[in-house]
Structure 1
């Protein structure tokens, strides 16, 4: 039996853990980008994956009480940085929130990056990557870096 690209993509998603984030690039060996988009759209209609934004998909965690559990904006940003092989550092209100100094969850998460500058909308939340110089990543300790970026 010949395995179709849909079967290959579906198998990869089924074998993955719940809450895992996928990018179109993860399936590039299974066909053209248009074909992969169509397959993922069909799998989304079947409820196997959920589209977070253009090119980013999620195998949602499900809880009986809470329903679907989505990853945090920070988890999504870290996955994007990992894919792009870029360093990121949260700044401003997001850094304050991650340090526990505020309870407000920012709707716009701003990160400094040595990768490409862009803005990604996920639902009513926004992830913004601001290009910065490598000198901004001179502090290697993550906690100390958060403190510096918060203030």
Structure 2
């Protein structure tokens, strides 16, 4: 009986680790998509791309996650709040959140489900523009992902040494 209990406890521990890794992977994918969208000031020569439509909403959401300050102006570095918000976005929770611009002149009330939809829409737009510009399989096997080109700013290993 002791061996069976020990094996069951070990199995439960492994399942917990797998669940944590799966959660980390989902949040990382969500963060990567958000960064690809929000950290791109222009697309295809359009310098207002990041400041319009769904992308502006995502920029405000990013500010909510990573640019909060306390009453004295010190940065809030609460990983728990950011992880909780990202989990709500990943699940598409209908709960509303207030997004405010840095100058506090614009405010939007949106649901986490709206944020999720905006991320999917904007990321799909990036992917389609990348595949249209570089071809659907242009970077396959060269460090690209799903038709996206490999970064040209970093020299290859052969060029470094």
What is the TM-score of this pair, normalised by structure 1?
0.26
Structure that is richer in helix per residue: 2
Asked which structure has the greater RCO (Cα within 8 Å, sep 6+), the reply is 1
| Structure with greater strand share of residues | 1
